[in-house]
Amino acid sequence: MSSFLYQEAKKKILDIIASGEFKPNSKIWNERVFAQKLGYTRSTIKNAINSLVEDNILEKRRGDGTYLVNENVNNSFEIGDDSPNSFTQLVKINRQEVVNRVESFKLIYDNKDLAIIFDNKYSDFYELIRTRIVDNIVVAVQKSYIPFSLFEDAHRYDFSNMSLYDYMDFKNHKPTKFETRIEARPISDNQFVEDTIKLDKSKYAYLLFLEYRGFSDKKEMVEYTKSWYNPDFISYKIKVKR
């Protein structure tokens, strides 16, 4: 229950950030103020803020407090492989509302192709297909696969209203490290995606395709996701560390 409480507090803090209460790179309220305004204990607020720090949305500065680190508040979104931000969080930080529409959610038994991707540790998987909609425009289509044995009760949750990562965090299997592959794929490569992301083919012939494997702190693979992004809205950022 306490895990859900900090996730609720986290969502409310995100709503405050999305409202424009804090400017990019500015100091946010301390834990005591958040606790008073939102009606949670300081311990719950601390856990929520720590989670947002892990998501690279907030930054703690020793002896100075906590700051909002996002620098880009506009109509486009950047995605990267160094952060476990959910798509919904990225859009909310850009002060836009996202609608998560679940197109399909089903259990797949004995899938050999997925088993190979997961190093043959699992054979049964949940497949979650979602479209991400902003201002009535489909900006992304995502297919996510998670092992049934790790998330047996996933069918009880509504992932149109709940973040998949919040659920995985509640089950103590949230991905924190990612292996990512990105490429440009022809619009006609996937009929469902072509029908869903309606683009002007005279302007675009390709979609941004992102494939990634998510690993928990225990270094176990817990997620495999394929995403197709609308190039009018999405850019990709890679940070090279030297």
What pLDDT, in 10s, does the model give residues 18-74? 778 888 889 999 999 999 999 999 999 999 999 888 877 899 998 899 999 855 444
Residues 51 and 171 in one domain: no
Q: Does 139 map to a domain? A: yes
Q: Does 241 map to a domain? A: no
Residues 64 and 121 in one domain: no
How high is the pLDDT of residue 7?
80
Helices (H), 19-76: 31-38, 42-54
Which structural domain, as residue segments, surrounds residue 23? 2-68
SS3 content of the chain, % helix, strand, coil (to 5): 30, 30, 40
Q: Does 93 map to a domain? A: yes
Residues 38 and 128 in one domain: no
Residues 197 and 116 in one domain: yes
Query: Could you say which of 42, 68, 94 is where a domain stops?
Result: 68
Residues 82 and 146 in one domain: yes
Q: Does 214 map to a domain? A: yes
Taking only the tens place, the pLDDT of each residue in 92-109 is 545 456 788 999 999 999
Query: Could you say which of 68, 85, 108 is where a domain stops?
Result: 68
At 185, phi and psi to the nearest 5?
A: -120, 145
Q: Nearest Cα to 54, choosing from 66, 72, 62, 42?
A: 66
How high is the pLDDT of residue 97?
66
- Work out the pLDDT band at 1, boundaries 50, 70, 90: very low
Burial class (CB in 10 A: 0-12, 13-18, 19+), 18: middle
Query: Would you say residue 86 has pLDDT above 70?
Result: no
For the chain, the domain total comes to 2
Residues 35 and 115 in one domain: no
Residues 83 and 188 in one domain: yes
Q: Does 242 map to a domain? A: no
Query: Would you say residue 121 has pLDDT above 50?
Result: yes
Give the Cα separation of 130 and 73 in Å (integer).
Answer: 24
Residues 25 and 129 in one domain: no
Which CATH number belongs to the domain containing residue 178 in this structure?
Answer: 3.40.1410.10
Q: Does 63 map to a domain? A: yes
Taking only the tens place, the pLDDT of each residue in 137-188 is 888 899 999 999 999 999 999 998 888 988 998 899 999 888 888 888 887 7
Write down the pTM of the prediction: 0.66
Cβ atoms within 10 Å of 183's Cβ, excluding its own: 10
Q: Tokens 């229950």: give the residue.
A: 1
How high is the pLDDT of residue 221?
97
Residues 49 and 161 in one domain: no
Query: Could you say which of 22, 48, 68 is where a domain stops?
Result: 68
Give the Cα separation of 113 and 3 in Å (integer).
Answer: 34
Query: Would you say residue 77 has pLDDT above 60?
Result: no
Task: Specify the DSSP class assigned to residue 159.
Answer: T
How high is the pLDDT of residue 3?
56
Q: Does 187 map to a domain? A: yes
More confident residue, 81 or 141: 141
Q: CB of 227 within 8 A of CB of 210?
A: yes
Residues 198 and 82 in one domain: yes
Residues 120 and 211 in one domain: yes
Residues 208 and 137 in one domain: yes
How high is the pLDDT of residue 76?
44
How high is the pLDDT of residue 52?
87
Q: CB of 168 within 8 A of CB of 126?
A: no
Which CATH number belongs to the domain containing residue 25 in this structure?
Answer: 1.10.10.10
How confident is the prediction for the chain on average, in pLDDT?
Answer: 83
